[in-house]
Structure 1
Amino acid sequence: MNSTINWLAANQQVIYIVILMIFVGIEVIGRVPSVLHTPLMSGANAIHGVVIVGAIIVMGQAPKDNIAALILGFLAVVLGTINVVGGFVVTDRMLEMFKKKGPKK
């Protein structure tokens, strides 16, 4: 219990920043019109490519006998890739809605 309190005291500023980021994120997303939620989320999914790069770096730096780090890194790469591909698929489907249709036959 004492070590937890010491860790909280040492990281107090970081905890405050994370809490503030949560509230700011909720306020920003809450003020976005519902029409823009899909493009916003597809763009955010595409940004998750950073997760893939970070996971690859973690897997490369992990010792070979640390199975937990390798498994978590692998899962992060797989799930990040699915997220990025899903973001691009949603964006492509959105852009298809705005293309002009050909002449009727």
Structure 2
Amino acid sequence: MTSTAIIQLFVFLLAGFVGFQTISRIPPLLHTPLMAATNAISGISLVASLVLAGANQGFVSTVLGAVAVACAMANVVGGFLITDRMLAMFGAKAANKGERKGADRQ
């Protein structure tokens, strides 16, 4: 294993640890804005993985790029579905409050 590969593995493990610690300490109220920012970052990684898959640098690079495209796309779509679901929960509370106010007037 080369020194570059060891450094890359160290950076990957450190990023995973820091990411886990950061996400686990986010209060529930901030999850929706955090998901929106995460979706933007996943969109950037999707573009980068598309470039990697289409660069024609060899078979392994193309396969790894295609896997990266699939993972990034799943992350983007899943993030938007979760964000939409969370926003719908907030919208349901606001709609219910409006219905109760209207019922009190009658």
Same fold (TM over 0.5): yes
Paired residues in the alignment total 96
- 1:18-54 deviation per Cα after TM superposition (whole angstroms, max 9, x unaligned): 6765665455334322x14743346424421111111
Instruction: Give the number of the structure with larger relative contact order, counting CA–CA contacts within 8 Å between residues 6 or more apart.
Output: 1
Please, what TM-score do these two structures have when normalized by structure 1? 0.62
Unaligned runs of 5+ in 1: none
- Larger proportion of helix: 2
Separation in 2, partners of 1:14, 1:69: 17
Q: Does 1:61 align with 2:80?
A: no
Instruction: Look up the SS of the partner of 1:103 in the other structure.
Output: helix
Q: Does 1:31 align with 2:25?
A: yes
Q: Does 1:103 align with 2:89?
A: no
Give RMSD over aligned pairs: 3.1
Unaligned runs of 5+ in 2: none
Please, what TM-score do these two structures have when normalized by structure 2? 0.62
Separation in 1, partners of 2:85, 2:36: 10
Percent identity for Structure 1 against Structure 2? 35
* CA distance 1:50–1:23, shift in 2 (3 Å): same
